[in-house]
Amino acid sequence: MTLRRATAADVAALAALRRAWVEENGGVIVDTGTFERDFAQWYAAEAGRRLTWVAAAGDEAVGMLNLVEFHRMPRPGRLHSTWGYISNVFVLAGHRNRGIGRQLLEAAIGAARERGYARLVLSPSDRARPLYARVGFGAADALMLMPLGE
């Protein structure tokens, strides 16, 4: 298994992983045939604020993770602050429980530390909570949420 930062050359593989995630989670896919194009456009638009990693077994992409970077509004008397949001963590079912998710998370955590982030946050699925807890994430009691839809 290899782990590396994704590039524009990985867009098709990342789109395939995203499709697999939706299928696995019971999403009904009504595809108009534009998903891959839409994904590529989204990826290009997000590239400036998002780091993406891909895990591969040979030539097959088997996992991914995104780290979105947020810059806080400057405030007098306070140093500039940046934080990250981990999202779209996914490993194909046949490749789970081999440490791939942990390696993806460790890569993102390492990048966040190198960049001097103040914090990392995420919105875990119930299935993923034990993994996140094992790498050091805890409950975020200070945050609030207002669901507005999907």
pLDDT digits (tens, 9 = 90+) for 41-94: 999 999 999 999 999 999 999 999 999 999 999 888 887 889 999 999 999 999
pLDDT, one tens digit per residue, over 13-35 is: 999 999 999 988 876 777 788 99
Q: What is the CATH number of the domain that holds 91?
A: 3.40.630.30
The confidence score (pLDDT) of residue 150 equals 65
Number of compact structural domains in the chain: 1
Q: What is the 3-state secondary structure (H, E, C) of the chain?
A: CEEEECCHHHHHHHHHHHHHHHHHCCCCCCCCCCHHHHHHHHHHHHCCCEEEEEEEECCEEEEEEEEEEEECCCECCECCCEEEEEEEEEECHHHCCCCHHHHHHHHHHHHHHHCCCCCEEECCCCCCHHHHHHCCCCCCCCCCCCCCCC
Residues paired with residue 69 on neighbouring β-strands, in sequence order: 84
Within a domain: 7: yes
Within a domain: 86: yes
Where in the sequence is the domain holding 66, given as residue range(s)? 2-27+37-134
pLDDT, one tens digit per residue, over 82-115 is: 999 999 999 999 999 999 999 999 999 999 999 9
